[in-house]
Structure 1
Amino acid sequence: MFDQAVDRRRFMGGSALLGGVLLAQPSWALSPAIPDPAIAATQALFDAYIADDRLPGAVGAIGRGTLAPNFAVRGKQGREAGALAMSPDSLFRMYSMTKPITGIAAMMLVEDGKLRLDQDVGDFVPGFRKPMVALDPVKSLDARPASKPLTIRHVLTHSGGLGYAIISKGALHDAFVHNGLASGAVSHMKLPGLDAIPPAPSLAAFAERLATLPLIADPDTRWSYSCGLDLMGHIIEQASGMEFEAFLRKRIFQPLGMTSSWFQVPTSELARMTTNYGILGTARAPIDPGATTIFADKPALKLGGSGLVMSPRDYDRFLQMLAGFGAIGRVRVMREATARLAMSNLLAPGVDTSGTFAAGQGFGAGGRVRITPNGLGEGVGTYGWGGAAATVAWVDPSTKFRASGFAQYMPDSAMPFTKDFSRTVYTSL
């Protein structure tokens, strides 16, 4: 049972749980779409994490179909004096939860006829026209020709053999560092275990340099977490003729009313920024304070795999659109068939996912797709992903609900917050 000792009257200056009914909630806290017990259970989970100082605060969003969400909100944006209360509009580092957004953006271009799923990436980055595969990427960059071309499908689903600075080891890892193929911003501080990688000067340079490195496996053979969605940012620029962020803003953020989504947080919005904590054993320390966050700096690279900062309200709007198969109400950003394809298993038959984040499951455009039941009630066809600073989000078409949970600490494996959130949501519903 979760520890419920924290006095809930501290939340929003006076909300309370009485007889299973939430009282004195702010206007954003409750809609008829989700039963009260789901929000109460999620808030109790957050209370337990705050009570023993594992977290300063957390936010969760749960919605039915495309109806308005309920928000579970507890605690503060950081432990520092004067930290503001958490809210649905607090700002969180999405890290890899950027990937589904980039994947959906690419699928919009597939719908437009400007990309094809099985199109050769070499059409956009000439260096990939004849991909090579490393004989042993830990020992050297010696390589042989790949058995087939690298395609858009491979890049979207991590099935093309691309490496990643945070995954690769030995010679290939060193080549990622040498070429400035950074995997994301974390802190202004030098942190143990994290490479200080001066990033490539542009997405174009990132793509061109990446194309000089060998793959770790032939396309369609192994699932391996990769920088593919970072590469996709450049491909989107090439295919659309627009700067990557401008494309996201025009085709996704603006039509969906996502007004708190940035690669660089404006100075005027820094008060909403949460603090990110590093955890080593029992020690917890702020590694990116909200007021001085590295995400207030102009990014050298707007990485489609890790670069966005967003509010829970905004990310839920993205999930609402997916739950509506491309639309929220009268606002449609992609055709239903495209949305369903994007959230389906796009992996080729025979791709080995064993021992990976996608083990036993499928993968769509930037997010995992459940193809077998997990015992918690998560439906087959559920699409979503998580982020490195303990965030998670998904859409479950079979049960017609969506959910997202937000904390801020690294590594996310230091505590089971995202797993606890997911389990709590499903058991309470």
Structure 2
Amino acid sequence: MSALDALLRDAVAEGTVPFVVAMVGNSDGLEWSGSAGDAAARQPAGEDSVFRIFSMTKAIGSLAAMILIDRDKLDFDTAVADVIPDFGRVKVLDGFDGTVPILRDPARPVTVRHLATHTSGLEYEIWNADMPKYMEATGLASILSGSREALFYPLMSDPGTRWAYGIGIDWLGQVVEAVDGRSVERFCREEIFEPLGMTNTGFEPNQVDQDRLVDCLFRSEDGAFEPSEMVPPPTPEYYGMGHALYATAPDYLRFLRMLLSGGTLDGQTILSRQGVERMLANHIGRLSLERMVTVAPTVSADVDIFPGARKTHSFGFMRVEDDQPGQRSAGSQGWAGVLNTHYWFDPRKNLAAVLMTQFLPFADPRFMQLYSDFETTVYATYRSS
């Protein structure tokens, strides 16, 4: 048994995760695959396990927009309201008069780049206490309701002034539809999933192998795993490119391998090499990712990946600006989904990896230690790649 296999086995045995699937690859193919635990009743976790990948969807949404940019149909600095006039309804929340929200116009237009890099001012209610207060005051539904009206979160700061995690890429998917003319579901299927052979990726459970869909769980106060109801909304009014996808680990690894390969995989070109380079560059300048302090601890712990390290954002991913000792290189990219599906890829060392389970809270400290140990073991095993 390899060190990676042992790590997964022990994590399940010790109750760190209920089950887990992990893979490592490079531009040429798969290096290693492993799994442990039962993903559902009498269903061992494995490469064919289907996960609700939530915010791992965001990178696909960003890629969809990047394809249009690569084809000169869209620009990083296109104002969103120029493409979707109704976006002009979105204002900055400037505090409250009692319980009444005070709104004002933003200091500058929100652009496509702002949406993709979480610098638009749009923030999730999980990490900003003013959002639940606003939602209670106005009756605005959560983005996970699937309602189109739920897209109209207010901005919590002026565009381009800070990084804060939110629903921007749900709007970016709407930009793709407006510019291209196809639904974002059809666009992703025809331009990304089918060319890359991502046959177990889709927006509805009936588009994937439902028999291999994993359980959705949460860790209770006593540490046990219990059923959770947090799932993407079925048949929504629109598909949110911030959260809507189901996928397997091998499918997502193919997506990452395409980026490591400069935009082409198995003869199918998704982006030009220059397009990949532009996508993976730092798009937020001197801004940096901030610690995400939870206001909903049952959904997420505080999030601070590589504390103290300089982290920026490309047009689709968190990007580390310095080498992490024993782990990823400067310029590496990655992110995660709220049910603890995680990934990164390292262009300098030609490595990509996914580590996927399915439980809340996000960034559970025990899981994050496993993720760090997994990454260290990957680099110790494949240091010569």
Q: What corresponds to 1:232 in structure 2?
A: 172
Q: What corresponds to 2:189 in structure 1?
A: 249
Q: Which has the higher contact order (CA 8 A, sep 6+)?
A: 2
Shifted more, 349-358 versus 151-160: the winner is 349-358
Q: If you compute each CA radius of gyration, which structure gives the higher value, 1 or 2?
A: 1
Q: What corresponds to 1:141 in structure 2?
A: 101
Q: Classify 1:397/1:294 alpha carbon distance in 2 versus 1 (closer, same or farther; 3 Å).
A: closer
- CA displacement, residues 281-336 of structure 1 (integer Å, 9 cap, x when unaligned): 334343248xxx95694344422111111011100110111111111131111101
**2:53 is aligned with 1:98:** no
Measured in 2, the distance between the counterparts of 1:99 and 1:146 equals 24
Flag structure 1 segments of 5+ consecutive residues without an equivalent: 1-16, 18-39, 185-197
The question of whether the paired residues in 2 share the 8 Å contact of 1:275 and 1:286 is answered with: no
Q: Classify 1:382/1:267 alpha carbon distance in 2 versus 1 (closer, same or farther; 3 Å).
A: closer
The question of whether the paired residues in 1 share the 8 Å contact of 2:115 and 2:172 is answered with: yes
Report the alpha carbon displacement of residue 267 of structure 1 after superposing the two structures with TM: 8.2
The question of whether the paired residues in 2 share the 8 Å contact of 1:265 and 1:295 is answered with: no
Task: Show the 5 A alignment for 1:275-294.
Answer: 275-288=215-228, 294=231
Q: What corresponds to 2:68 in structure 1?
A: 109
Q: What corresponds to 1:178 in structure 2?
A: 139
- CA displacement, residues 95-142 of structure 1 (integer Å, 9 cap, x when unaligned): 111111111111001112221100101112224448643223796531
| Alignment partner of 2:124 out of 142, 150, 164 | 164
Letter of the structure 1 residue corresponding to residue 216 of structure 2:
N
- SS of aligned partner of 1:143: strand
Measured in 2, the distance between the counterparts of 1:261 and 1:243 equals 16
Q: Percent identity?
A: 26
| Alignment partner of 1:419 out of 347, 350, 372 | 372
Report the alpha carbon displacement of residue 265 of structure 1 after superposing the two structures with TM: 1.1
Q: What corresponds to 1:314 in structure 2?
A: 251
Q: What corresponds to 2:9 in structure 1?
A: 47
The question of whether the paired residues in 2 share the 8 Å contact of 1:180 and 1:206 is answered with: yes
The question of whether the paired residues in 2 share the 8 Å contact of 1:94 and 1:306 is answered with: yes
- SS of aligned partner of 2:44: coil
Report the alpha carbon displacement of residue 224 of structure 1 after superposing the two structures with TM: 0.4
Q: Classify 1:260/1:378 alpha carbon distance in 2 versus 1 (closer, same or farther; 3 Å).
A: same
| Alignment partner of 1:324 out of 253, 256, 261 | 261
Q: What corresponds to 1:7 in structure 2?
A: none
Report the alpha carbon displacement of residue 74 of structure 1 after superposing the two structures with TM: 2.2
- SS of aligned partner of 2:352: strand
- SS of aligned partner of 1:246: helix
Measured in 2, the distance between the counterparts of 1:299 and 1:42 equals 39
- SS of aligned partner of 1:274: coil
Q: Classify 1:51/1:352 alpha carbon distance in 2 versus 1 (closer, same or farther; 3 Å).
A: closer
Q: TM-score, normalised by structure 1?
A: 0.78
Measured in 2, the distance between the counterparts of 1:162 and 1:288 equals 26
Q: TM-score, normalised by structure 2?
A: 0.86
| Alignment partner of 2:335 out of 364, 380, 385 | 385
| Alignment partner of 1:304 out of 227, 238, 241 | 241
Cα root mean square deviation, aligned = 2.5
- CA displacement, residues 140-163 of structure 1 (integer Å, 9 cap, x when unaligned): 531333221110000000012112
Flag structure 2 segments of 5+ consecutive residues without an equivalent: 293-303
Measured in 1, the distance between the counterparts of 2:132 and 2:72 equals 35
Aligned residues: 363
Q: What corresponds to 1:355 in structure 2?
A: 291
Report the alpha carbon displacement of residue 71 of structure 1 after superposing the two structures with TM: 0.9
Q: What corresponds to 2:316 in structure 1?
A: 366
